Amino acid sequence: MDPEFIDTLVIPNDTKIVFLIMDGLGGLPMDGRDQTELEAARTPNLDQLARKSVCGLLDPIGYGVTPGSGPAHFALFGYDPIKNNIGRGILEAAGIDFPMTERDLLIRLNFATIDKNGVVVDRRAGRIDNETNKRICRKLQDSIKKLSDVEVIFEPVREHRALLALRGGDLREEIQETDPQKTGLPFLPPDALVPEAEGTATLLKELVDKAREVLSDEAKANMLLLRGYSRYRRYPSLKERFGLNALAIANYPMYRGIARLLGMVIGPLPQTIEEEFKALSEHYREYDFFFVHVKPTDSRGEDGNFEAKVKVIEEVDALVPLVTDLNPDVLVVTGDHSTPAALASHSWHPLPVILYSTTCRPDRVERFSERDCVYGGIGRMPMVHLMGLALAHARRLEKFGA
């Protein structure tokens, strides 16, 4: 079924839907353990919720496909992740409310550490702090303001991540990313992937060379890696598609950016997971759809830190009553993709999901985990259909046909 088909069935209602998203939730057993991070965590509140809900597994993109965060979140909100694939650059730009124009090529930067031979030693430059990020962006901006007739703009995002905007000229997206995705490999050249992108590739090669020279005296962030080339485009909002007045509660800029692109109101910037849950309670009367995004599950998975990821899941579980006490008409708990500490990266494994509603048909799942949710009533479903299921349980879809 085309995900956009549900748009034709939407009807008004004042019911409330909460999506609690633990980024990178799915995991794998590691170091001789026989449990994933979610299975190893003590989750009495999530387990109790699962027992009165319908559960299952979600595939963010498709069988065997490892998703990026951008397409995975688009799928969560009911947007075809392949049809609406988007470069990470535009997400970073939206996340920091960068004033985008149709003349911009937007690129997400990772500051990284390379050795004298150009081999990547650390893809995240030791997760430098925000102040260091700002200083390095100023340093680059002071040295590289323009290339040919193209304006160059560096903007800090967070930790090792920044935004590069090229403004002007006939700029193209079809450029090879320079991040090798693994340490121990040299950074890649920004080669053109189609003949029409040769001019943009030449420009970016000059920029990379200059940036390497400018950053040569930095101990950690002595190189930048280019990812997610994208030009600006507009997306229909959740209000336009589903009639939802939506609030995004997220700490990390990229996820605030996804929400902004889809027309959500961007909530206050929480500094802790607990503050995110409190913000939900404080603004609950004002909106009817809530996206609550928890980032550290993903970060600890990318760090390869099994125990730290377990602790984040347990912290979220302890706060779940702050959500259930609000008595939302629909409560969905899942992730956007799997980030097993065993792999220290995103993976293709499906995500466990809980869908609670007074209209759901509870299954026999007793515990919220990858292994248990295999037997849930939702079965194994493409993630893009989750929004339609949530809308149905919120009684926001009319009958199809006579």
- The confidence band for 2, taking pLDDT boundaries of 50, 70 and 90, is confident
Most confident among 146-160, 169-183, 220-234, 235-249 (mean pLDDT): 235-249
Spatial separation of the C-alpha atoms in residues 310 and 312, rounded to whole Å: 5
Q: Is 290 found in the same domain as 332?
A: yes
Q: Is 208 found in the same domain as 121?
A: yes
Model confidence over 376-395: pLDDT tens digits? 999 999 999 999 999 999 99
Q: Is 213 found in the same domain as 123?
A: yes
Structure confidence at residue 316 (pLDDT): 98
Structure confidence at residue 367 (pLDDT): 97
Which residues are registered as beta bridge partners of 290? 18, 247
- The confidence band for 71, taking pLDDT boundaries of 50, 70 and 90, is very high
Q: Is 323 found in the same domain as 181?
A: no
Q: What is the mean pLDDT of the chain?
A: 94
Q: Which residues of 236-245 are buried (b: 16+ CB within 10 A; e: fewer)?
A: eebeebbbbe
- The confidence band for 88, taking pLDDT boundaries of 50, 70 and 90, is confident
23, 124, 329, 385 from 76: Cα distances, Å: 12, 27, 18, 8
In a domain, 402, yes or no: no
**Helices assigned H by DSSP within 58-146:** 69-76, 88-95, 130-143
Last residue of a domain, one of 193, 209, 231: 231
Number of domains in the chain: 2
Q: Which domain holds residue 195?
A: 92-231
- In this predicted structure, the answer to whether residue 312 has a pLDDT above a threshold of 90 is yes
In a domain, 400, yes or no: no
Spatial separation of the C-alpha atoms in residues 128 and 353, rounded to whole Å: 33
Output the pTM of the full model: 0.81
In a domain, 101, yes or no: yes
Q: Which of 312, 399, 401, 389 is nearest to 54 (CA)?
A: 389
Average pLDDT over residues 232-261: 92
Model confidence over 341-368: pLDDT tens digits? 999 999 999 999 999 999 999 999 999 9
Structure confidence at residue 278 (pLDDT): 96
Q: Residue 29 maps to which CATH number?
A: 3.40.720.10
Last residue of a domain, one of 178, 200, 231: 231
